[in-house]
Chain A
Amino acid sequence: MKDLLRSARAKTHLERRLFLKAVGLGLAAPVAWKLARSASAQSGGAQKRFLLFYVPHGVPPEHFNPVGEGANFGLTESGVGILGPLEPYKSLVNIYEGFQYPGASTHEGIVKFLSNFSGANNDDTTARTSIEHLIGNGLGVQTLALGAVPHRAFGQDFDAKLMWDGTAVVPQKNPLVAYDALFGALGTGDAPPPDTSTQDELFQSLLTLNEGEIASLGAEVQSLTSESSKLTTHLESIQSLRTGAGGGAISCTTKPELPAVDALRVKAAGQADDWFLQEVNFPDILAAHLEVAAAALVCNAAPVVAVQSLYANCDIDFGFMGSSGAHHSTLSHTTPQQTGPGTFNLTAREPFANAQRWFFEKLVEHVITRLDVPDPSGGTGTVLDNTIILYASEIGEGAWHTSFTREVLGGAPPGVMSYMPIVTIGGGGGGLVTGQRLNYWKGPPEGTTQDRPAGDVWLTLARAMGLTLSDVGGATAAVTEALA
């Protein structure tokens, strides 16, 4: 952790020096920042980005699984084709099958599946770090965590703890706040930014004062283990402020035009904070979040972004897109229906499948199409080429609550298999070999030992992002076939 902090600090200092030098040469601020970042992020030229897209409650595999093997697979042929919206981008898609989350039975596993944490499901306090924050920390940038109705009113409970950075991260529920923070200062022309060196110096002095106060209190409670631990965490958190967000490298010069954000701004005008936790507003909020995420990636305003769609167990009515019923307890709990040897009722779970497909439609509409543009950050290819979008859910089969590979519908062996749904879209700046259906299930008998840990995928993605992490939770090895 200390090494990471030192690295991030050094990187920020380097960028600042380069930035000031560029400004001194008379370059406009955005261009100066761009040069600074390009210099510090060189090694291949492409600025790598990462997006986590979480969708709860698993999938019905008969509507999800690709048809075909290896590099020859289709995404539209299974039932309603949950992954169908990705078909035009198939060459940049990887499907990872035969992975399991460590003991992450049921939705309770949300607290640990992205960290590959092997503790108890009901442990929602022990420190851990999930993949999107591992990548953000490794790149020395602050992960932008967004969430559309990410928790219930009152606070962040168990079901909402998806992202971790040591402690659980609360996603920003209001896309307008995120947009304004990222892009609010844009569009002011090419005037050089004000000299912030005095502000920076005073802020460093403030932090020194604050750290001293914390340390002093820490000395007072050193015999009280839990309280002392709190202050250790507190001190580390304050120290992290010294490194800043590690960003500032925004490559856009004007505020991005985001229709869903504009529409939400009108709709949410004058509303209380809890408006952003109201289920009825979920579709509008998610659309806006996805557009903010896309713009953040394109503009390099936040190279690592996470979008949490809902919280686990959320019973929002999906009638708004045609699948009436509670997303969790009605739609996802509709069980697979075997009608005879090798036959099953494909229509029984169409409402749930359509609901899950809707998420991919929104991902394509609001994110992927926006990333499918030449990379303005100086890299080669499109932004999508230089990005990894990770889709994952906390369980595999919605009704069975699987956390490892299972056969959920019998047929010609194997029948319809339920895998933990893990999909990536994007090339990761050449870090990933894409266009593959990768299956590592060892075959029957079913059980966790027949799968690889999902941490292997997380480790692979970290490596594809250029990080040299040796371990992610209980990962055993990277998925070499996916690494360039």
Chain B
Amino acid sequence: MSAPKQIRSRFALGDARRLAAALCIAGAAALGCSAGDGTEDDSDGPGVADCGEGQVCTAQSLCAASVSGAPVLRRLTARELNASLNDVFPSLAGGWTFSFSADPVSHWGFDNESARLVVSKQTARELDATASSLAAAVSGAGLAGILPCATATPDRACAGEFVARFGKLLFRRPLAADESERYLAFFDEAAAKTDFGAAIGWVTRALVMAPATLYRRELGVTGESTRQLDQYEIATALAYTFAGTGPNENLLGMADRGELSSPDTLASLAQQLIESPQGKEHLHRFFEAFLEYSRVTTVTRDEASFTTLAPDMRQETRTFLEAVVFAGGGVRELLTSNQTFPSVALAGYYGMPAPAADYGAVTRPAGQGIGVLAQGSVLSTEAQPGWSSPTQRGLLVFERFLCREAPTVPPDVPPIPEVASGEVTTRQRYEQLHASGGTCQTCHREFDPIGFGFERFDQVGRFRDSENGLAIDASGSIPRTDPGVAFANQEELASGLADLPDVHLCVSSQVKTYAFGTEDACLGEGRRQEFVDGAIGFVQYLASLAAEPHFTSRRLQ
């Protein structure tokens, strides 16, 4: 059985590319658009790939067995570093400034792709500014609370105590003797020129800037056929993968005792971490990147009250995700749940029944959408300021649920016919612009027909029966799927997607890409089929990744 052929983007995705792709495309076939007859992507369904010699597998491929990936140094994301420093020095919260800029995001929207995270000159400056600020806080009034011996016996031994304890928390492992000595020698130099507190500050700054702090080390110890990750590397991987922060003293204690080896133990710990407040937040980050829904608070829409209610839309979706995901739901529940959780004000804005209290459960009126793709935050984000956007909404599904490639716009776009809005429906206008023939339709027929399914929702996510008095046609189809999917409305579109194994494969590939910080194939296959089948949900599948070979070992090169 051959590996499923997935069209995959090699460039950044997101709203911009959707908008770019919204243009008419000249010479689209040459840019990689399918001719629409199956000749380029025959989508033969989700088979199991063995990824043996001569076979190319991608993150979307369902592999026969899991493998270990490459040994890596993963620079902490800004968010991970910030969380780690706050966890190591909780008593100093608010007393120092974190100065990092935004991290680069991958074409999946993830900010933790290992290959993209480097220490640039800008990063170095921001790291120094952050370390300097934290050092000032450590050496200030809070020092006595952090390091009691600083008051009674401010000497080298006390500094050694600091290096041992906080060095271990920052490095996520005990410091080697020669390593400690280097930092203590630096303390000696600083203490000779300043006072004890300032010298501890300098040591703090050095520890924070150290590569051992900055990188998640996933190198392992070289064996005959693999590199085996050590206990501290595993503890670190557990903490960051499932909670987005460094290991606490309890987890480091388990590493000290060598208790982090059994796959069952690791999966169980992963589950606990995911369900912690930090873990939940970390999983929310996945959905924010995957669905881009929290961008709703940054966009502008031509509707009164939108800016005021956009934060409510974001919270509605967070509550929805918690209800679905943390109750064991998977892709099907994500796409087809008929509940939502608006604020009272937002329910009124939507024109749906009000919940008992803000963000309480509401059953959606029949025929007014289901699942996460009916959320106001998603629909508003994927829209134009003054109207809905079948192209953007279609591309969200096309890219994030089908893992297909959106083409780049060519340099030579032909004139686009002007079609006045208001005289026709948005769908009719888009059909005239994009889908009725000519060069545009070559690509737009791939995703606009999907986006038409959302046409009963306006640019701020409100259900509508008509548009400017004109009847709305929300029917469409998902091109090149097996089985074929045709739908009359958003509910049928969402259900159709939930029935497609390719969708489950696509989403699961993004879960493991987010977890492992790489798109390498075949890293998380142990329970993937169960996730694809709907037997386990997001949390269980994510936790299962801790039991994969990749979590404890790496290939030699």
Give the segment of B36-44, B67-75, B333-341, B359-367 that binds chain A: B67-75
A205 near B189: Cβ-Cβ < 8 Å? yes
With contacts A209-B206, A213-B212 known, is A313 near B416, CB below 8 A? Answer: no
State the CA gap A212–B212 with chains docked (Å). 12
Q: Interface range on chain B: under 10, 10 to 19, 20 to 34, or 35 or more? A: 35 or more
State the CA gap A89–B206 with chains docked (Å). 51
B119 near A335: Cβ-Cβ < 8 Å? no
Instruction: Say yes or no: is A165 at the interface (Cβ < 8 Å to chain B).
Output: yes
With contacts A156-B105, A157-B104 known, is A400 near B413, CB below 8 A? Answer: yes
| B441-462 CB contacts (< 8 Å) to partner A | none
Q: For B556, give the chain A residue with the smallest CB separation.
A: A223
Chain B residues with CB under 8 A of A168? 104, 120
Instruction: Say yes or no: is B539 at the interface (Cβ < 8 Å to chain A).
Output: no
State the CA gap A329–B434 with chains docked (Å). 13
State the CA gap A329–B215 with chains docked (Å). 40
Instruction: Say yes or no: is A317 at the interface (Cβ < 8 Å to chain B).
Output: yes
With contacts A156-B102, A206-B206, A233-B120 known, is A221 near B219, CB below 8 A? Answer: yes
State the CA gap A278–B411 with chains docked (Å). 30
Chain A proximity mask over B1-44: 1 for CB below 8 Å, otherwise 0: 00000000011101111011011000000000000000000000
Instruction: Say yes or no: is B257 at the interface (Cβ < 8 Å to chain A).
Output: no
A217 near B194: Cβ-Cβ < 8 Å? no
A237 near B102: Cβ-Cβ < 8 Å? no
Give the segment of A80-88, A147-155, A470-478 that binds chain B: A147-155
A106 near B408: Cβ-Cβ < 8 Å? yes
Instruction: Say yes or no: is B295 at the interface (Cβ < 8 Å to chain A).
Output: yes
State the CA gap A107–B11 with chains docked (Å). 13
B206 near A237: Cβ-Cβ < 8 Å? no
Instruction: Say yes or no: is B499 at the interface (Cβ < 8 Å to chain A).
Output: no
Instruction: Say yes or no: is A158 at the interface (Cβ < 8 Å to chain B).
Output: yes
Instruction: Say yes or no: is A366 at the interface (Cβ < 8 Å to chain B).
Output: no
Instruction: Say yes or no: is A96 at the interface (Cβ < 8 Å to chain B).
Output: no
State the CA gap A403–B121 with chains docked (Å). 31
Q: For B129, give the chain A residue with the smallest CB separation.
A: A181
A154 near B19: Cβ-Cβ < 8 Å? no
CB within 8 A of A401: which of B19, B109, B298, B413? B413
CB within 8 A of A313: which of B16, B124, B193, B557? B16
Instruction: Say yes or no: is A375 at the interface (Cβ < 8 Å to chain B).
Output: no
**B290 CB to nearest chain A CB (Å):** 11
Chain B residues with CB under 8 A of A155? 102-105, 111
Chain A proximity mask over B499-512: 1 for CB below 8 Å, otherwise 0: 00000000000000
A237 near B186: Cβ-Cβ < 8 Å? no
Chain A residues with CB under 8 A of B408? 105-106, 108, 121-122
State the CA gap A73–B177 with chains docked (Å). 73
* A–B complex contacts, Cβ < 8 Å, 20 sampled: A105-B409, A152-B295, A153-B294, A154-B289, A154-B292, A154-B294, A157-B12, A157-B16, A158-B12, A159-B14, A165-B121, A172-B101, A206-B202, A209-B183, A213-B210, A231-B73, A279-B299, A316-B300, A329-B19, A348-B418
Chain B residues with CB under 8 A of A236? 121
Q: For A272, give the chain B residue with the smallest CB separation.
A: B297
Chain B residues with CB under 8 A of A319? 302, 385
CB within 8 A of B104: which of A107, A156, A220, A233? A156
Chain B residues with CB under 8 A of A401? 23, 409-413
B412 near A400: Cβ-Cβ < 8 Å? yes
State the CA gap A234–B186 with chains docked (Å). 21
State the CA gap A198–B209 with chains docked (Å). 20
**A170 CB to nearest chain B CB (Å):** 4
State the CA gap A201–B101 with chains docked (Å). 28
**B387 CB to nearest chain A CB (Å):** 9
State the CA gap A317–B387 with chains docked (Å). 12
State the CA gap A328–B392 with chains docked (Å). 13
Chain A residues with CB under 8 A of B418? 334-335, 337, 348
Q: For B9, give the chain A residue with the smallest CB separation.
A: A122
State the CA gap A324–B421 with chains docked (Å). 13
State the CA gap A470–B122 with chains docked (Å). 26
Q: Interface range on chain A: under 10, 10 to 19, 20 to 34, or 35 or more? A: 35 or more
| B160-214 CB contacts (< 8 Å) to partner A | 182-183, 186, 189-190, 193-194, 202, 205-206, 209-212
Instruction: Say yes or no: is B284 at the interface (Cβ < 8 Å to chain A).
Output: no
The 8 A-B residue pairs with the shortest CB-CB distance, nearest first, are A158-B12, A105-B411, A313-B16, A122-B11, A170-B101, A155-B105, A167-B120, A237-B124
Chain A proximity mask over B216-237: 1 for CB below 8 Å, otherwise 0: 0001000000000000000000
A201 near B193: Cβ-Cβ < 8 Å? yes
Instruction: Say yes or no: is B123 at the interface (Cβ < 8 Å to chain A).
Output: yes
**A217 CB to nearest chain B CB (Å):** 5
Chain A residues with CB under 8 A of B464? none
Instruction: Say yes or no: is A312 at the interface (Cβ < 8 Å to chain B).
Output: yes
B411 near A403: Cβ-Cβ < 8 Å? yes
Q: For B79, give the chain A residue with the smallest CB separation.
A: A155
With contacts A108-B20, A277-B298 known, is A223 near B557, CB below 8 A? Answer: yes
**A459 CB to nearest chain B CB (Å):** 23
Q: For B122, give the chain A residue with the smallest CB separation.
A: A169
State the CA gap A165–B121 with chains docked (Å). 8
| A186-238 CB contacts (< 8 Å) to partner B | 198, 201-202, 205-206, 209-210, 212-214, 217, 220-221, 223-224, 226-227, 230-231, 233-234, 236-238
A231 near B211: Cβ-Cβ < 8 Å? yes
Instruction: Say yes or no: is A435 at the interface (Cβ < 8 Å to chain B).
Output: no
Instruction: Say yes or no: is A185 at the interface (Cβ < 8 Å to chain B).
Output: no
B189 near A312: Cβ-Cβ < 8 Å? no
| B102-148 CB contacts (< 8 Å) to partner A | 102-105, 107, 109, 111, 115-116, 118-125, 128
Chain B residues with CB under 8 A of A205? 186, 189-190
State the CA gap A122–B415 with chains docked (Å). 25
B19 near A328: Cβ-Cβ < 8 Å? yes
State the CA gap A167–B19 with chains docked (Å). 26
Instruction: Say yes or no: is B428 at the interface (Cβ < 8 Å to chain A).
Output: no
Chain A residues with CB under 8 A of B533? none
Instruction: Say yes or no: is B261 at the interface (Cβ < 8 Å to chain A).
Output: no
B120 near A237: Cβ-Cβ < 8 Å? yes
Residue in B14, B15, B120, B182 with the greatest tally of chain A CB atoms within 10 Å: B120
A317 near B128: Cβ-Cβ < 8 Å? no
Instruction: Say yes or no: is A125 at the interface (Cβ < 8 Å to chain B).
Output: yes
Instruction: Say yes or no: is A16 at the interface (Cβ < 8 Å to chain B).
Output: no
**B17 CB to nearest chain A CB (Å):** 7
A314 near B302: Cβ-Cβ < 8 Å? no
B102 near A170: Cβ-Cβ < 8 Å? yes
Chain B residues with CB under 8 A of A481? none
| A292-339 CB contacts (< 8 Å) to partner B | 311-317, 319, 324-326, 328-330, 333-337
Chain A residues with CB under 8 A of B212? 213, 217
A313 near B19: Cβ-Cβ < 8 Å? yes
A317 near B298: Cβ-Cβ < 8 Å? no
